[in-house]
Structure 1
Amino acid sequence: MSDALVPPDGPIGAEPETPVCARHSDRPTRLRCTRCDRPACPDCLRDAAVGLQCVDCVNEGKRTVRRARTMVGAEQSDGRLIVTPVMIALNVIAYLLTVAQSGSLFTNQTSAIFQATVLDPVLAANGEWWRILTSGFMHYGLWHLVLNMGVLYIAGYHVEPELGRLRFSVVYFLALLGGNAAAFYFGGVCDRLAGASGAVFGIMGALLVVWRRKKRDISTVVVIVVINLVSNLFTDASLLGHLGGVVVGGLVTLAMVKAPRENRNLYQIAAVVAALVLIGGMFALHANSLMNVVCL
């Protein structure tokens, strides 16, 4: 055995013990996070503006960095749609339930679910107020559903990222209620209405406002809206319901867009409350005149 002296740090050329990943104790690594300087394996590192950062530092950075805002004050999203496909799914599910009950794709209005949820002004005025909302998820046959959902997806694709999920949902349901309120207040007392058309036209109205604000060409959207409204004169579709939807959806979105940056949320809430009061007033005022009406 040699009596040669051994350096205190170990034999010359020896490697110090390799550190292990802060998140995986079984993974030796010589890489480190440029932010916290902790050892990290390749799976735990992400590209950063300077060097590599561990996932913990990346997540912490996301929480502390202020995200960009859209024109109405919503957080800038990645463009992924959430509310639009959910609304489409709810409408499709409701339609399939009526088809299952009626046994028909095109005469599903004979189902018990349809009959219990369609907007019948007289029944709604006499206590069945849920019809004001549920009728927006009923459709007269397959083509009625396909047309509404197709337009909803196209318009929602452009509007939802700009308004954000919450504001988009608010505009959707206010337009649905606004369309039904217009048909209820100004339409025939024995007309039975169903469909998401009021909400869909409301999103189209929102699209007009959003694109106008972004200085995009709105001529195509205007033509589509006008053609659909004019076509109502030659079909059984509710012109009043469509008009009510596009007016309410457009005006509420305009109020959101025009709200001053200071106290923006307060102004937007006030616009939503005003729309609800107007819509509720239209239902309440006309309901009294329908109490004793009987439709044959």
Structure 2
Amino acid sequence: MEQAPGGPREPQGPQEPRDTPRLPHCYRHPGSETGISCTRCERPICTECMISASVGFQCPECVRTGSGTGHDPAAQRPRTIAGGAVHDDSFLVTKVLVGLNVAVFALVLALGERFVSRLELIGYAFSPQLGEVVGVAHDQWYRLLTAAFLHQELSHILFNLLGLWFLGRMVEPALGRSRYLALYLLSGLGGSVLAYVVAAPNQPSLGASGAIFGLMGAFVVLARRIQLDMRPVVLILGVSLVLTFARPDISWEGHIGGLLTGGAIAAAMVYAPRKHRTLVQGAVCGAVLLGLVAAVLIRTAALT
């Protein structure tokens, strides 16, 4: 998420020895190294293919065919590590979200500044473009969500969509479509709400960065859950945070709000007890949403 522009708007290294041990490659994705194996057939599987089972993880083929599962009904149903359904197209929601962002950007290019002024995140201010008072505190709550799909600059949307494509292809298969979409939207809202609560009421901001940072927070939680090497994950997160605070035109509130929201929801998704998993996941998402609504109400009361 960026502040809208304009015043108050916002040599090759040494080769490794030939005898260096390497991880096996996923049998479904030969380009992906992995240290995880299916507990049924013992073939190597990557994080996109592993499906949570009663013990360890299984590959999609063993789950679909019920190989060696006997009468275990849970093993017959393909499920992600978060309990979501497994689909042939593991990145459908990510593709749709990319398409939505591109479509809104095309509308920005076609309709111009007045279109942006109606959708960007702003607390409470007079809009010269619209000639009226606008903002979330002016009963325009929709701006908290529409701003998360809004971009004005080509470099901004390209950077955000690159992050969405990279992170979405790892987070969506691990959570499942509905859980992934809930995490994305709540992360975008979390970023907008913190920006609304902390930033000046007349400072517009826009962009999908809050939701992207939510996916980053979810990726950190997932990496910890499946016991990946955390050093490169922490490095990526650290560099992203440094860039967030290094540039004055970045809405750090949107980034941090999305990061915290996404991390909290992802933790509930993958660490919820199996017996009441869906109930716990829904309760946490509901609690987060209620907390965001309460924060908006408190801030609105202060502004008006």
Partner residue of 2:131?
none
- Offset from partner CA, 1:210-247 (integer Å, 9 cap, x none): 11111112322322222222222232111111001011
Q: Shift of the alpha carbon at 1:112?
A: 1.5
1:1-80 alignment to 2 at 5 Å?
Answer: 66-78=76-88, 80=90
Match for residue 195 of structure 1? 207
Residue number in structure 2 paired with 1:118: 120
CA drift at 1:189: 1.7
Equivalents in 1 of 2:232, 2:251: separation in Å?
Answer: 22
For 1:229, the aligned partner's letter is L
* Whole-angstrom distance in 2 between the partners of 1:267 and 1:238: 32
Please give the alpha-carbon distance, in whole angstroms, between the structure 2 residues aligned to 1:218 and 1:166.
27
- The answer for the alignment partner of 2:271 in structure 1 is 258
Residue matched to 2:102: 92
Matched pairs, number: 222
Aligned: 1:227 with 2:229 = no
Alpha-carbon offset, residue 170 of structure 1: 0.2
Q: Distance in 2 between the 1:286 and 1:131 partners? A: 15
Give distance in 1, aligned partners of 2:196 and 2:92: 31
Report Cα offsets for 1:122-148 as digits up to 9, x if no partner: 111111111111001111300000000
Percent pairwise identity: 36
Distance 2:288 2:243 in 1: 27
Which of 171, 174, 177 aligns to 1:159? It is 171
Q: Is this contact kept in 2: 1:233–1:239, CA < 8 A?
A: yes
Greater mean deviation of Cα atoms: 213-222 or 253-262? 213-222
Deviation, structure 1 residue 80: 2.8
Q: For residue 139 of structure 1, give the secondary structure of its aligned residue in structure 2.
A: coil
Letter in 2 for 1:194: L
**1:250-281 deviation per Cα after TM superposition (whole angstroms, max 9, x unaligned):** 11110111111111111111101110011111
Match of 1:131 among 128, 133, 143: 143
- Distance between the aligned counterparts of 1:254 and 1:261, measured in 2? 14
Cα distance in 2 for residues equivalent to 1:191 and 1:116: 14
Partner of 1:283: 296
TM-score calculated relative to the size of structure 2: 0.70
* Equivalent-residue separation in structure 1 for 2:99 and 2:287 (angstroms): 30
Given residue 230 of structure 1, which amino acid in structure 2 is its aligned partner?
Answer: V
Q: Does structure 2 conserve the Cα–Cα contact (< 8 Å) formed by 1:155 and 1:204?
A: yes
Maintained 8 Å contact 2:108/2:152: no
Per the alignment, do residues 230 and 140 of structure 1 end up closer, same or farther by CA in structure 2, a change over 3 Å counting?
A: farther
Aligned partners of 1:211 and 1:217 also within 8 Å:
yes
Higher relative contact order (CA 8 A, sep 6+): 2
CA RMSD of aligned residues (A): 1.9
Alignment pair present for 1:242 and 2:244: no
Task: Quote the offset at 1:65 in angstroms.
Answer: 8.5
Q: Structure 2: any 5+ residue segments left out of the alignment?
A: 1-60, 62-73, 125-134
Q: Which moved more, 1:259-268 or 1:169-178?
A: 259-268
8 Å contact kept, 1:74–1:163: yes
Q: Distance between the aligned counterparts of 2:152 and 2:245, measured in 1?
A: 18
Task: Describe the SS at the equivalent of 2:158.
Answer: helix
- What is the rounded CA distance, in whole Å, between the counterparts of 2:254 and 2:296 in structure 1? 13
